[in-house]
Amino acid sequence: MKLLHYTYRKLSLWLLVLMAVWGVLFYYTIMYELMDETDDTLENYAQIIINNALYDESVLNTEGNLMSFYYFHPLSVKEGENYRDMFYDSLVYVESEDEHEPVRVYRTAFRMPNGQFYELELMISTLERDDMVNAMFWYLIALFALFLCSTAIGTRLILQKIFRPMNRLMDWLQHLHPGAEVPPLDNATNIREFRLLGEVACDMANRSHKAYEEQKQFIENASHELQTPLAIARGKLELFAESENMTEEQLKELDAIYTTLGRAVKLNKALLLLSRIENGQYTETENVSIDELLEEVLPDLMEIYEHKQISLEQRKGDSPFIIRCNASLAHILVTNLVKNALLHSPEGGRIVIATTASSLTIKNSGTAALDSSQLFKRFAHSVDRKKESTGLGLAISEAIASSCSLHLTYHWEESMHVFSLVK
């Protein structure tokens, strides 16, 4: 999830909760004020009615008008002395309207000059108040929705503007490639953190490019410098071997040394190739047919390992397996996988090579399963370690597969090693 969307979502949720709480509190605050105002009106009106009754007892026989009703009920002395005023909501039947109307009721007690206690039950219609509360509720909902939408839109526009330098920086980072020149970063901003982040990113990119160039130069120089003394040493060994004074034991020792030097030459070339692959130096890619590569390399490799009398079974799919890869690397990848199967198959073993439109599967006979967690690491050897194996073939194959966005996997199935190359 993008940082902009994450921040916007969190802010929106917080604003929604905050505004919802504010709306509820505001609504109940207004309701409390309206109710308090109604109760104050009832108290004032009740005081007027009581004063009128104290001066004129005939008031005790009246019941008010359409908007306000009041009734007098005589009380005993004990009830009057212990009476507590109360407010509550109720309904009253209005004959003229033939319906019940909501009212706010106030009950209080007072004492006439003759010592008689009376209860005053005063009711005021709350129709207007309820209509006002209902209107206020819907106005509040509309205001809440309008405020939420405008705040959400405004917040998003502001966040987009704030994070624009970050987006430009991310686009710039995506255009960085190993070995390629670092493009200029045009990301002027007044935000100190983003400006500092851009400067640090440029500095790191330039240092990484410099380190990459130095590493590439070192690898190429080291490989070249190693090749020369190794070639000279092998040449001198060949001259020694041609000497007439060499005994059979000395020739055997020279042959062992010559073989070791040959393996060092192979290791040097393999390490150089692996480093170049991992550094992304093979940038030219094209569509390569794995089926055609198999037809090219299989005859030569089968001839080399003819002495092992390995049977080959080849299965082709309806469509060729086409990958997007550097042609030289694709050739090395197929050669390494087939050679690995031939090299580590027992004499008289069996190899099955199958291709589909999206995969290559190579199976070869074996005696025990391999450790898949170590198999594709450098200098990892199988249980039946071969002298002619450098331990880098599968590591190189896995590096090539990754550079071509392919997946190279291994598993053990029916006494056979199975290597699968899948898009």
Given a cut of 60, is residue 381 above it in pLDDT?
no
pTM: 0.50
Whether the per-residue pLDDT at 419 is higher than 90: the answer is: yes
Residue 74: C-alpha distances to residues 78, 193, 286 (Å) = 12, 80, 107
Nearest to 330 by CA among 269, 276, 288, 299: 288
Q: How far is residue 56's CA from residue 33's CA, in Å, rounded to a whole number?
A: 34
The CATH architecture annotation of domain 3-158 reads 2-Layer Sandwich (3.30)
Overall residue count recorded for the chain in this entry:
423
Q: State the pLDDT at residue 382.
A: 44
Residue 383 has pLDDT above 50, yes or no: no
Strand order through the sheet with 68-75: 68-75, 117-125, 99-111, 86-94
User: Under 8 Å CB-to-CB from 324, ≥6 apart: which residues?
Assistant: 285, 286, 287, 288, 404, 405
Residue boundaries of the structural domains of the chain:
3-158, 193-278, 286-422
pLDDT at position 384, please?
A: 46
Percent of the chain with pLDDT over 70: 90
Nearest to 215 by CA among 131, 265, 278: 278
Percentage of the chain modeled with pLDDT above 90: 10
**pLDDT confidence bin for 97, thresholds 50/70/90:** low
Count the Cβ atoms, other than its own, within 10 Å of residue 35: 16
State the Cα–Cα distance between residues 379 and 44, nearest whole angstrom.
99
At residue 375's C-alpha, the angle toward residues 371 and 377, to 5°, is 135
Note whether 370 and 290 are within 8 A (CB).
no
Architecture of domain 286-422: 2-Layer Sandwich (3.30)
The reported pLDDT for the residue numbered 405 is 87
